[in-house]
Amino acid sequence: MVQISPPAEAETTQRKDPKAPIVQDLERLLAALRRGALAFLHWLTRLWRSSLQLRVVLLTMLLGTVMALLLGSYLYQRIADGLVQARISSAQQEAAQQTRSAQAKFTGADRTDRDSLKSLAGDIVQSSASPGEDNSREVILTRAITNQRNVIVPTVISGGSGNIGLPSIPQDARNQLARNSTHQAVKIITVKDQQNRMVPAVLVGSRVDIPTAGDYDLYFVFPMESEEATLAVVQRTFNLGGVALILLVGAVAWMVTRLAVEPVRRAAHVSERLTSGALDERMKVRGEDDLARLATSFNAMADSLQSQIRQLKDLSAVQQRFVSDVSHELRTPLTTIRMAVDLLHAARADFEPSVSRSAELLHDELDRFEALLADLLEISRFDAGAAALDLEDTDLRDSVARTVEAAQHLAARRGSELQIVAPQQPCMAQVDSRRIERILRNLVVNAIEHGEGRPVTVTVGVNGTAAAVMVRDRGVGLRPGEAGLVFNRFWRADPARARTTGGTGLGLSISLEDARLHQGWLQAWGEPGEGSCFRLTLPTKPGVPIGQSPLPMDRSTS
Q: Are 140 and 153 in contact (CB under 8 A)?
A: no
Whole-angstrom Cα distance, residue 137 to residue 62? 45
Residue 548 is predicted with a pLDDT of 86
Q: Is residue 39 part of a domain?
A: no
- Residues in CB range of 106: below 8 A, 6 or more apart: 120, 124, 208, 209, 210, 211
Residue of 227, 160, 168, 165 lying closest to 194 (CA atoms): 160
The reply to whether 398 and 533 lie within a common domain is yes
Q: What dihedral do alpha carbons 137, 142, 145, 151 form, nearest 10°?
A: 160
- Indicate the residue type of 65: T
Q: Report the CATH number at residue 434.
A: 3.30.565.10
Q: How many CB atoms lie within 10 A of CB 294?
A: 15
Q: Is residue 58 part of a domain?
A: no
The reply to whether 325 and 458 lie within a common domain is no
Q: What is the pTM of this model?
A: 0.50
Whole-angstrom Cα distance, residue 299 to residue 276? 16
- Residues in CB range of 533: below 8 A, 6 or more apart: 470, 471, 472, 473, 524, 525, 526, 553, 557
What residues does 216 pair with on adjacent strands? 143, 208
Give the end of a domain, one of 387, 415, 434.
387
Q: How many CB atoms lie within 10 A of CB 512?
A: 23
Q: Render the burial of 17-40: b for 16+ CB within 10 Å, e for the rest.
A: eeeeeeeeeeeeeeeeeeeeeeee
The reply to whether 423 and 518 lie within a common domain is yes
Give the 3-state DSSP-derived string for 213-225, with helices as H, strands as E and coil as C. Answer: CEEEEEEEEEECH
Please, what is the angle between helix 353-384 and helix 507-517, to 10°? 30
- To 5 degrees, how large is the angle CA 511–CA 552–CA 436? 25
Q: Is residue 437 part of a domain?
A: yes
In the chain, % helix, strand, coil (3-state, to 5) comes to 55, 15, 30
Q: Is residue 190 part of a domain?
A: yes
The reply to whether 483 and 392 lie within a common domain is yes
- Residues in CB range of 20: below 8 A, 6 or more apart: none
> Containing domain of residue 329, as a range?
311-387
The reply to whether 457 and 357 lie within a common domain is no
Q: Is residue 218 part of a domain?
A: yes
Q: Are 508 and 379 in contact (CB under 8 A)?
A: no
Residue of 286, 275, 551, 229 lying closest to 422 (CA atoms): 551
DSSP strand pairing (456-462 vs 418-421): parallel
Q: Is residue 147 part of a domain?
A: yes
Element (H, E) at 468: strand 466-472
Element (H, E) at 361: helix 353-384
The number of distinct structural domains making up the chain is 3
Residue 26 is predicted with a pLDDT of 82
- Name the H helices within 385-420: 396-406, 408-414
Q: Is residue 23 part of a domain?
A: no
10-residue mean pLDDT series, the chain (558 residues): 42 53 81 88 83 84 90 91 91 91 88 85 86 73 85 78 78 89 89 81 91 89 88 91 90 84 78 78 76 80 82 74 69 78 80 82 77 70 70 90 90 90 90 89 89 90 90 86 76 55 69 87 86 91 86 64
The reply to whether 178 and 147 lie within a common domain is yes
The reply to whether 404 and 436 lie within a common domain is yes
Give the end of a domain, one of 227, 251, 271.
227
Give the end of a domain, one of 364, 387, 410.
387
The reply to whether 136 and 174 lie within a common domain is yes
Q: Are 191 and 198 in contact (CB under 8 A)?
A: yes
Q: Report the CATH number at residue 208.
A: 3.30.450
- To 5 degrees, how large is the angle CA 463–CA 517–CA 431? 50
The reply to whether 362 and 478 lie within a common domain is no
- Residues in CB range of 255: below 8 A, 6 or more apart: none
Q: Is residue 452 part of a domain?
A: yes
The reply to whether 118 and 152 lie within a common domain is yes
Q: Report the CATH number at residue 345.
A: 1.10.287.130
DSSP strand pairing (185-192 vs 214-223): unpaired
The reply to whether 158 and 169 lie within a common domain is yes
- Indicate the residue type of 347: A
The reply to whether 355 and 477 lie within a common domain is no
